[in-house]
């Protein structure tokens, strides 16, 4: 089984690849967020995750570890002198907070956006949410799930997104440090599960620090708490992520390369 987290932050080096590897994740997406009036950066300007927290060189760990480049934007976390190599695939993701339909329409024509592996968007109004669901060329629709939703999740719009292969994201990390946010999290996430019927959902961390990361089975339990079946929650941290990667690769015209890498990651994990 391949476990995937398609939303981690590389800011300040407080989320590290070694911790994600220790928890059992095989593929992660490093997320860069931009408001509608921000100047977008190219994916190459977004730092990959450091090996250790704070960008350290791994001293103090039981074994010295280093990154070895692999194909299709992946990285391998290898124990130097060891016999096993676990592939940790790092993709680059951009999340755009969209205020109007014109901004949503501009996503597909942005060269900076096209440089990222995965494209996500967050709507701030019902019209923008409808456009994202029905027409926008994005892979993931995300939400500020620890605050009151600025619109209703209308089933026809959600169904249109699902039919087009778009996924909806539930981020758990922002709810871990705020009791008010936690209440909104459970209310909003449960509503999203109800409207989607548990289909096309991603469970992601949105973590900015290692301490906010949770192991895959803990994330699955969070999914069950918001109304997913165990099988649906398992999909939300595994196969749904692969489906998002496949959709994104097809959109970028690189399906064969990225999917082959995902299969290679899966083979390595299964052999272990």
With residue 218 as reference, give the H or E element that holds it. Answer: helix 216-225
Q: Which two tokens stand for residue 271?
A: 């052999």
- For residue 255, count CB atoms less than 10 angstroms from its CB and return exposed for 0-12, middle for 13-18, buried for 19 or more: middle
pTM: 0.83
Residue 93's alpha-carbon distances to 21, 30, 69, 142, 266, in angstroms, are 19, 6, 19, 12, 21
Angle made by CA atoms 30, 270, 208, in degrees to the nearest 5? 20
Neighbour count for residue 152 (Cβ, 10 Å): 11
Contact of 79 with 63, CB cutoff 8 Å: yes
pLDDT of residue 86: 55
Contact of 160 with 136, CB cutoff 8 Å: no
pLDDT of residue 256: 55
| CA contacts within 13 A on the Cβ side of 201 | 30
pLDDT of residue 263: 54
Measured CA to CA, the distance from residue 28 to residue 11 in angstroms comes to 15
Measured CA to CA, the distance from residue 94 to residue 140 in angstroms comes to 10
| CA contacts within 13 A on the Cβ side of 249 | 18
Q: How many helices (H) and strands (E) does the chain have?
A: 10, 9
Contact of 96 with 9, CB cutoff 8 Å: no
Q: Which two tokens stand for residue 27?
A: 């593929």
CATH number of 3-271: 3.20.20.140
Q: Which two tokens stand for residue 99?
A: 């205020």
Residue-by-residue pLDDT tens, the chain, 272 positions: 899 999 998 766 678 888 999 999 999 999 999 987 778 888 888 888 887 765 544 333 333 233 233 333 433 333 333 334 455 789 999 999 999 999 999 998 889 999 999 999 999 999 999 999 999 999 999 999 999 999 999 999 999 999 999 999 999 998 887 788 899 999 999 999 999 999 999 999 999 989 999 999 999 999 999 999 999 999 999 999 999 999 999 988 875 545 555 555 555 444 44
């Amino acid at each position: 089984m391949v476990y995937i987290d398609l939303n981690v932050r590389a800011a300040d080096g407080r989320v590290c690849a070694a911790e994600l590897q220790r928890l059992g994740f095989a593929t992660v997406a490093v997320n860069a967020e931009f408001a509608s009036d921000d100047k977008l950066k190219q994916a190459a300007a977004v730092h990959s995750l450091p090996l250790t927290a704070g960008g350290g060189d791994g001293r103090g760990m039981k074994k010295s570890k280093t990154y070895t480049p692999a194909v299709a934007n992946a990285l391998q976390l290898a124990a130097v002198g060891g016999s096993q190599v676990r592939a940790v695939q790092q993709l680059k993701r951009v999340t755009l907070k969209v205020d109007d339909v014109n901004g949503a329409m501009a996503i597909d024509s942005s060269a900076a956006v096209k440089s990222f592996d995965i494209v996500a968007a967050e709507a701030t109004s019902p019209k923008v949410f409808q456009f994202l669901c029905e027409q926008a060329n994005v892979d993931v629709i995300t939400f500020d799930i620890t605050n009151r939703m600025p619109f209703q999740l209308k089933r026809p719009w959600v169904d249109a997104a699902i039919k087009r292969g778009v996924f909806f994201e539930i981020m758990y990390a922002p709810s871990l440090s705020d009791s008010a946010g936690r209440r909104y999290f459970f209310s909003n996430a449960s509503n999203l599960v109800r409207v989607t019927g548990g289909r096309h959902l991603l469970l992601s961390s949105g973590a900015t620090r290692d301490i906010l990361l949770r192991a895959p089975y803990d994330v699955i339990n969070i999914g069950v708490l918001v109304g997913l079946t165990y099988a649906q929650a398992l999909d939300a941290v595994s196969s749904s992520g692969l489906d998002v990667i496949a959709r994104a690769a097809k959109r970028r015209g690189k399906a064969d390369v990225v999917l082959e890498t995902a299969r290679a990651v899966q083979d390595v994990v299964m052999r272990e």
